[in-house]
Chains A and B, each alone.
Chain A
């Protein structure tokens, strides 16, 4: 399928939308025309008042992602290596994940105040679980023969973890990162809804107050772009890190 058709579809959609706005009675406060959105977007970017929000959201997302993924990864390793900890903590880890993190937002605002800290913590909490679960799965599913090889060679537990389990589980672990990236953006934007002074989420709330739906649409476009950029970067990193793993990763070498 030629990509041109995808772009043509978008163009067709935008033209229909534009015509709809011009010829129907629906107020531009409810549905702004694409050209109006384009103007707001261009002004925001060229005059610079959106950039501070873009940087704020990207920063919160990246920081939350980094903290959530690191803690998730390390916890996954700990739980994967220790059956005792796994049995002890797993029910609580699971329970803590069933609580919608966004529902905790107001509490975090009480604890950490309005602003960046609360948003970063919400984002980190959301990113934590996919990494924990995928790391746990990844390092536990090493084929018996490979584990026996390391036993034969007299490898210590730490060596087996670093030289065998982590590299072998890497594709599963990175799949967790990919899921986290998508969730992190949700975390950051919704976190800003609740507690943000700056950021794209806060901008949407501000636009809502002014009934400026064109600005809202402009921000949606930016959020989508940020999501795609982060996702693409992750996929590229993944492709680089897994370049030597055979397709499917899990059963390589068999």
Chain B
């Protein structure tokens, strides 16, 4: 049975504006899926429904067989911005998910330091968010999401504001971390090559529908150089064409 089962999910705002239609999607445990689409196509809404932050108008989402009714401790969420609390040192930002639930122990602190080490920021644990660069802040946000050892990681364009080099570094580290821990990931992006590099499966979304699905059959672990191989570029251009076709279709026939 699929780890995440999204069954006929639709969403409508109070104003009756419909942003999601009939979404069916299964994600197997340990897979890395990306959802790609232009701004305003409903990607973030779907992610928030899976996170339990929004309740779907129809259909339902189940994680590990249990219907999602509210946010869960076992789901990590990485936002579009690092979203750190600037009045807390890095270590306390990473420990936030723990300290909300219980008093932190020495073990928690050690695990937080270990997690910071995996994102390369152990030496910065006592500094404050404003003293870190944008890329470093994104790393802290990932460490914070991983501190609870979530089975599922939901990521909403977490690298969109970063420069290309930093973004590549973070993608490489994210892939390593997730495959090491067997974390299932659903990643939202509007960057095609980012999606292809990271994912096992990609869904293309437009106007609240999933329009197309792609399987990325590039073996893992992926070296950075796969980005320059023909197979990679073919996939990118196939996805690009599919998005373009949708765009043209919607212009010719708005229905």
Contacts and interface: CB of A to CB of B under 8 A. Distances in A.
A254 B222 CA distance: 31
Interface of B: 48, 51, 53, 71-73, 75, 77, 79-88, 96-97, 100-101, 128-130, 137
For the complex of A and B, the 8 pairs showing the least CB-CB separation, nearest first, are A246-B130, A252-B86, A152-B77, A244-B87, A152-B71, A153-B100, A167-B87, A155-B100
B95 to A, nearest CB: 11
A48 interface: no
Contact of A154 (B82, B84, B101, B128): B101
Contacts of A246: 86, 130
Nearest to A148: B53
Contacts of A252: 86, 130
B83 A146 contact: yes
B86 A244 contact: yes
B128 A244 contact: yes
Interface residues of A, number: 22
A151 interface: yes
Given A153-B73, A167-B85, A254-B81, 5 more contacts: A148-B53, A152-B77, A244-B88, A244-B128, A253-B82
A253 B83 contact: yes
A154 B128 CA distance: 24
Q: Is the interface of A mostly helix, strand, loop or mixed?
A: helix
Nearest to B80: A145
Interface string A240-254: 000011100000111
25 contacts: A145-B79, A145-B81, A145-B83, A146-B83, A148-B48, A148-B77, A149-B77, A150-B100, A151-B53, A152-B51, A152-B75, A153-B71, A153-B73, A153-B96, A154-B100, A154-B101, A170-B87, A244-B86, A244-B130, A245-B86, A245-B130, A246-B86, A246-B130, A253-B81, A253-B84
A119 to B, nearest CB: 36
A164 B87 CA distance: 10
A163 interface: yes
A163 B129 contact: no
Nearest to A150: B100
Interface string A132-172: 00000000000001101111111100010001100110100
